[in-house]
Each structure stands twice: as structure tokens, then as C-alpha cells.
Structure 1
Amino acid sequence: MDVKDFDFYLPEELIAQHPLEQRDSSRLMVLNKETGEITHKVFHDVIDYLNPGDTLVLNNTRVLPARLIGEKEESGGKIEFLLLKRIDKDTWECLAKPGKKAKVGARFSFGDGILIAEVTAIGEEGNRIIRFSYEGIFEEILDRLGQMPLPPYIHERLEDKERYQTVYSKEEGSAAAPTAGLHFTKELLKRIEEKGINVVYLTLHVGLGTFRPVKADTIEEHHMHSEYYHLSKESADIINATKQRGNKVVSVGTTSTRTLESIADDNGEVREQSGWTDIFIYPGYKYKVVDALITNFHLPESTLIMLVSALAGRDHVLNAYNTAVKEKYRFFSFGDAMFIVK
């Protein structure tokens, strides 16, 4: 399948640069995956499409302030590291910019020596393996020195770092937010539970590989980076019971979707599990667990629009995206949402 089959025209002014003041006031496009019918709503209307007995699955990962800006010890030259994946307690795989300064053995200082980094190896695709040395607790130091790693298409400064976290974020470890969840408020989640809908959590630590462009000509040649996930027994039992009753499993975001589909067996059952997934979902894939999906609007030719197309059909999705452009929906991380229902 050709990557260009997932292209669409997106004016730059539709890329949202900041979150709305009220999380659940964003627009919501409801797409019927079987008929292609489109309805325009506001995000808090999502509750109207959920029935008692359905289960909402949310990713409770928390974004690390993973962008560190410091200087080379000998020359004082500026360096920027983006933490991608923790290898052990003090060793991380990082993106280094400019990479030419980050040779093996080079040392860098952050916060006037509060944190020292040494390049120990060069990993996959030129990423650096970094060993940090410091006194105290790494996470506390990172909270002091690190910046939120906003996507490159967001050019405005984020005043409140918590707006790039979901209200239910808990497990630290992501390099990017599971953005579909940014629309939920605690009040909306409470109303959803009061209606008799199960709300369960899993964890997938989002890596930048999720957003890596597809450089191959055909999507079958593209390889996804692996990301760590965990699903508890409690969540698994509720999801399985939902399927057995014939209710809907509603996944919030592509990260929750990839986790559920990675864990599921051929009968659509899930179980308590931790591990790494590099699952790549594109048209032709048969979903085993996920019945409906809440997601944002994604980049042209991205793996994320391919995942969505596998659920709702490429023609329905591209028509919905072209409609979103025409109706001036806001795109990407701080943009509006789509709810794919059946």
C-alpha cells in the first residue's frame, strides 16, 4: 500500500498552537465507521455516545520534562538532549542536537553542574546513549532542569506545563503526551462513571517513534519503534467482561489502541501483561478488542492516520479529514477530537 494514499491537504493555520482554556470545550467530530456519516459536536457530548456497560480505556502515562539544555564541559558549546528511553537507573537513550558535538566520551553540564551527562555509545539511528551523574533523586533534578518536549510543529511557549499532561496522568516515562486524553476533565470522567460506564487505565510510555514520518514508499516497509506498556489484571478483567456482554470497548487514543491490540489473543481476550510493542496497524488489520476510538486529527501520511483508517476505512477517514479542513477543525496535539463509533 502506497504511503501517498494517506495524504491530504492541511493548511498550516489549522495546526493548533495552544490548548483551549477549557479542556472539554474542543470540537468533536463523530464518524460512523460503517456508514461514514459525520456529526459535529463539542467534546463533552462524548458521553451521549457511551452506554452503561461500555468501557473507556485511558493511557495514564505522564510526560517527563525530558528536554535538557546545557553546555559541553570543555568548550561551553550549547547542547540539547531529549530523553527517549530509560535503559537503566542512570542511563538513557537520547536525541542529541547538534549531534556532531555529542561524540563518545564527551561530557556535558546542566544547571551549572547539578547534572552531568557522558556519551557512552551511539545507538540506533544516531541516538546517543547517555550516562548521567548527580547527587539526589534524578526525577527531582529533571523536574527542576527539564523542559516539556512539545512537538516541533508547536511554536508557541506553553505557560502551564500541566496542559501537556492528562488530568489522570500518573506513571512517568513518556517523551510525548497521549493527546486524545487531553480533552477529558475530572468532572467529565465523573459524569461518565455515574452513567454506568467503566473507566479503566493502562500504561504505554509514548516514544517519538510514534510520530516518526514514514520514509518508505510503501507502508509495509516501515518499522515502528518499540514502546513499553503495562495492563493490570483489574483492567484486563473489566475489558474482557465488557466484550463478553456485547458492550463497546472504547479506546482513548492510538497509544491505548496499540497496547490493547498488542496484548489481545485471537479471541479478543486480554490479560495482565507488561512488555514492549512495535505493532504497526494499517488497513487490512482486523481489530480484536477495540470497538470505538477517540483520537485527535493526525499528520498526513503518518502511521496514526493509517491506524485510524484500519478501523474506519481509508475512504471514510480521508473524507472526514477533508471535511475537518473545510470546517476549520484544529489539528494535532492541542487540536480537536474525532470519535469513531459503530
Structure 2
Amino acid sequence: MTIEFSLPATLEAHEPPEARGLGRDGVRLLVGERGAGRVGHHRFTDLPSLLRPGDVLVVNTSATMPAAVPVPDSALVVHFSTEQLDGTWLVELRQAREPFRDGRAGTRYPLFGGGSVTLRRPFSTGRLWESDVDTGGRGVPGYLAAFGAPIRYSYVGRRWPLSYYQTVFGVTPGSAEMPSASRPFTSDLVAQLVARGVQFAPVLLHTGVASLEAHERPYPERFLVPRPSRALVAHARAEGRRVIAVGTTAVRAIESDGDDGWTDVIVTPSRGVRHVDGLLTGLHEPRASHLDMLAAIAGPELLCEIYREALAEQYLWHEFGDLNLILP
């Protein structure tokens, strides 16, 4: 689905809400209700009052890796995206935080600590590469923990520690970028939701690099849906209770066939959704492929109204920005 709009720089979240004098849960929350066809404006701290006892939240337990590693004596940075089934990695090259388009198959880039990345073949034109990675026996997560930094795009003006890119649910390192819809949750807010009778279904999906300017279709990513979570979601739906995914990554995991592996599922309006009724997500770029998933859950008319309101009321975009809750 295409929603045409221009995103002014003033609506990009250039820093975490904590730097703006807010708590993690102090961001705004734009709520769209599909049945009623209406849009409402809230704070994220209102979430417990917006959910019902018996609602199930599907949450991603992937933790963020410091996935950006500079190439010594160069302006290049390697973004580690996604491990593939054959042990190779999808990587992206950046220069001055912009895509580097001049990579060539067979090129080896040395990395700090004796590591290296060797480009095999393009995975997507001018951006992602299938690559052989040498980390000196550390394993990629261990190597990144020693030498990496969080991926940072041009709209974020300064570096922030890795802790700013973690969520309260993240326990298994593996994501190149933060599953950001979960960022505003705090331990206290989770306790309020549990006290209200909201249930949680943990899933895992290690998300790769977004590269917002590319607007590409999703590529295979590692996922795991524990059987108790699958059963909880199925039971809730059978009883007519609402199942709400926290983030597009959680949708992709729970909508995948099977319990684990690499998922290439793409949620579109024509495919629809089979396991979720609603979605808590950030605000996405115009023409971004995620909008197809949102349209499948919200419907095109409500989704257009949500984005009209978000622009008119100056909500903030990107990983440190405001949130959008789509309810059935």
C-alpha cells in the first residue's frame, strides 16, 4: 500500500525521549480503532486502560546487538544484518551514514581485532551483500560485543549507549536494530498490564537492518515461536479475546508457519493475518513495505486517517519516536 506524504525533519525523533525530559513510557500513543473507525490521542502510559483483561500481547524477546563495525583506516562501516542458513551473513556497507554503492564481489574488508568481511555476491542491488565473516573464532555476537556500536542513521545526531537500544523484553542478542515498538515498555508498566489481566506471548525474531531509504521487501530472518506462546494465542482467539502484536517483527514471527527457522513471510492485505487482531507499532516511512502489513490489520481507510492525524498533530517518527496502536 502506498501512502503519499513528505516527512519533515522536524517530525524525526533525533534523540531518545529521555533526552527530551521524558521517561521511556512518556511518548505519545495514537490509537486507531478499526470497528469504530475513529482515532484518538493518548500517552503511552495510558496503555493499561486501553487494553482489556484477557488481551494477549505478542512480544519479541530479541535483544539488540552493537551491529555497526568500522573498517580500519577507512570511512566505511559494516552493518551486520542477518545470519543465513548456510552460515554466511547479510551485511551492508555505509559511508558517512549513507549507503556505499561501490562494493565489489570478492572484496575483503579487514575489521578490528583481526576480523574481516569478504563480499560474495549482491543480495539486493547496491545494498545488502552475502558475505563470509571471519571473527577469529569469537562468533559474530561475541565479536560485535567487543568491537561494535549500535547502528545509527543520519537523523540521530549523536551516539547513544547500547542500553538505549534495548527493550525490557530483549533477552537473546541477535537483532541488528532494536525491535522499537517495545522500547516504551517499562517494568512498572508491564506490572500494571499483568495486574489488569493482560497476558504476554513471547516470540523471537532477530531483525536485520531496515535502511529506511531502500523500502525493500523483507528478507529471511531467524525466528522462534515457543509452543506455549502458540497455544496461548490460539486459545485466546478461540475464546474471542484480542491478540495484539507488539511490533511488525512480532507479527512476522507469529504469522510464520512452524515453530522455528528462517521466515520469509510477507503480510499484505491480500494475504491477511491469521493469528493477530491488532498491532502496536511505530510510524513508518512513506512507501515502506511495512505499510502493507499495517493495511492488512487496520484496513486502508483507517490507516490513511492514522497517518493524516500523525502528521497534523506532529507525532515523531523512527525508533525513538511515538507509537501507534491499531485495535480491532
TM, length-normalised to structure 2: 0.88
Q: How far has the Cα of 1:197 moved from its partner? A: 1.4
Give the count of matched residue pairs. Answer: 316
What's the counterpart of residue 52 of structure 2?
51
Secondary structure of the corresponding residue to residue 6 of structure 1: coil
Across the aligned residues of Structure 1 and Structure 2, the Cα RMSD in angstroms comes to 2.4
Q: How far has the Cα of 1:325 moved from its partner? A: 1.0
Letter matched to residue 238 of structure 2: Q
Deviation string for 1:160-181 (max 9, x for gaps)?
3211111121111111111111
Letter matched to residue 115 of structure 2: I
What's the counterpart of residue 81 of structure 1?
78
What's the counterpart of residue 221 of structure 2?
227
Distance 1:223 1:292, change over 3 A: closer
What's the counterpart of residue 302 of structure 1?
288
Deviation string for 1:287-338 (max 9, x for gaps)?
2111111111111111112211221121211121111111111112111111
Distance 1:192 1:9, change over 3 A: same
2:7 pairs with 1:10: yes
What's the counterpart of residue 279 of structure 1?
265
Distance 1:183 1:168, change over 3 A: same
What's the counterpart of residue 261 of structure 1?
255
Q: How far has the Cα of 1:103 moved from its partner? A: 5.0
Q: Does the CA-based 8 Å contact 2:13-2:320 persist in structure 1?
A: yes
What's the counterpart of residue 250 of structure 1?
244
2:170 pairs with 1:169: yes
Secondary structure of the corresponding residue to residue 319 of structure 1: helix
Question: How many angstroms apart in 2 are the aligned matches of 1:260 and 1:210?
Answer: 24
The one of 310, 316, 336 aligned to 2:302: 316
Q: How far has the Cα of 1:206 moved from its partner? A: 0.7
Q: Which sections of structure 2, spanning at least 5 residues, go unmatched?
A: 95-99
Question: How many angstroms apart in 1 are the aligned matches of 2:162 and 2:135?
Answer: 26
Question: How many angstroms apart in 1 are the aligned matches of 2:118 and 2:190?
Answer: 44
Distance 1:77 1:326, change over 3 A: closer
Deviation string for 1:196-252 (max 9, x for gaps)?
1111210011112685634xxxxxxx7431111100011112112111221111110
Q: Does the CA-based 8 Å contact 1:59-1:201 persist in structure 2?
A: yes
TM, length-normalised to structure 1: 0.84
Deviation string for 1:244-278 (max 9, x for gaps)?
22111111011111222223xxxxxxxx6002222
Distance 1:299 1:108, change over 3 A: same
What's the counterpart of residue 25 of structure 1?
26
What's the counterpart of residue 183 of structure 2?
182
Distance 1:101 1:327, change over 3 A: closer
Question: How many angstroms apart in 2 are the aligned matches of 1:321 and 1:153?
Answer: 23
What's the counterpart of residue 134 of structure 2?
132
Q: Does the CA-based 8 Å contact 1:250-1:290 persist in structure 2?
A: yes
Q: How far has the Cα of 1:138 moved from its partner? A: 4.9
Question: How many angstroms apart in 2 are the aligned matches of 1:245 and 1:103?
Answer: 53
Distance 1:107 1:28, change over 3 A: closer
Question: How many angstroms apart in 2 are the aligned matches of 1:109 and 1:9?
Answer: 38
Q: How far has the Cα of 1:283 moved from its partner? A: 2.6
Secondary structure of the corresponding residue to residue 285 of structure 2: coil
Q: Which sections of structure 1, spanning at least 5 residues, go unmatched?
A: 215-221, 264-271
Secondary structure of the corresponding residue to residue 308 of structure 1: helix
Q: How far has the Cα of 1:137 moved from its partner? A: 6.0
Question: How many angstroms apart in 1 are the aligned matches of 2:213 and 2:251?
Answer: 18
Secondary structure of the corresponding residue to residue 262 of structure 1: coil
What's the counterpart of residue 325 of structure 2?
339
Distance 1:332 1:120, change over 3 A: closer
Distance 1:156 1:51, change over 3 A: same
What's the counterpart of residue 64 of structure 1?
65
Question: How many angstroms apart in 1 are the aligned matches of 2:37 and 2:145?
Answer: 45
Q: Does the CA-based 8 Å contact 1:69-1:81 persist in structure 2?
A: yes
Q: Percent identity?
A: 26
Question: How many angstroms apart in 2 are the aligned matches of 1:12 and 1:107?
Answer: 34
What's the counterpart of residue 97 of structure 2?
none
Q: Does the CA-based 8 Å contact 2:62-2:174 persist in structure 1?
A: yes
Q: Does the CA-based 8 Å contact 2:111-2:117 persist in structure 1?
A: no
